[in-house]
Amino acid sequence: MGAAAEATQIADKEPALTDPDDRHPVIIPPKPHQRPRQQRAHDTKAKILKAAARSFSIDGYAATSMNDIVAEAASTKGAVYFHFDSKEAIARELINHWLTALREIRQSTDESAIPAIEQLAAFFNGSAALIADDALARAGLRLTTEAGLDTAPPAFRKWMELVSRLVDTAIADGQLPASAAQRLAVNLCAGFIGAIQVIQVLGDPGDFASRIDDLVNAYLISDA
């Protein structure tokens, strides 16, 4: 047997991915342009959510189809249905994103140790900043007002509950009158949504945070 043939035979017998001494596994790093499958799946899901958020925000839930989302995401039906089995599943994800962000804002204001009425203003200011910067949160907020979506009313109530707790604390601390409990939370949430819709219709967002600040202060001053 020639030297080349013998070397080939020995190479064929050697286990793959081992060093010449057959003692330690050899780790072959991925090529620089390759990404792990998990990361690619994460990126694809994020792209789908962003596309759905754009469609829901512009056209609404009822007028948006899964085909619209596929086209907006420049993806395939297979990729979209791999991550979400329905349009409602995508909507739930966006609503959960909105509610999770609200809870984080609420926790942050609670940890600030400022008076409850100031926490209330800070909560809505933080929510305004979120809406201005986060397209997924904007879509999630809009979806909480969609009559044809079963998960919308419970999500809206959860938002109002967060606000109501702050209102109740402010009342207990003597910062707001007891009569505020019946209307303030729903009026603030409804006013917040109304401000966003008006801005979208006019196409002139301006300083959205300042507008929400004016809205909240108007309610708080009138009830103080």
Q: What is the pLDDT of residue 12?
A: 45
* 8 falls within a domain: no
The rounded distance, in Å, linking the Cα atoms of 55 and 47 is 12
* 139 falls within a domain: yes
Query: For residues 134 and 87, is the Cβ–Cβ distance under 8 A?
Result: no
**Which amino acid would we find at residue 193?**
I
Residue 203 has pLDDT above 70, yes or no: no
Q: What is the pLDDT of residue 198?
A: 79
Q: Where are the alpha helices (DSSP H) in 60-115?
A: 66-73, 77-83, 87-111
* 56 falls within a domain: no
| 24-33, 42-51, 102-111, 156-165: least confidently modelled range | 24-33
Range(s) of the domain holding residue 156 = 89-223
Average pLDDT in the chain? 83
Instruction: Output the domain CATH number for residue 198.
Output: 1.10.357.10
Half-sphere exposure of residue 90: CA atoms within 13 angstroms, side-chain side:
30
Residue 21 has pLDDT above 90, yes or no: no
Q: What is the pLDDT of residue 41?
A: 85
Q: Two tokens at 49? A: 């959510």
* 146 falls within a domain: yes
Burial 42-76 (b: 16+ CB within 10 A, else e): eebbebbbebbbbbbbeeebeebebebbbebbebe
Q: What is the pLDDT of residue 214?
A: 86
Query: For residues 96 and 143, is the Cβ–Cβ distance under 8 A?
Result: no
Give me the number of domains the chain comprises. Answer: 1
Residue 174 has pLDDT above 80, yes or no: yes
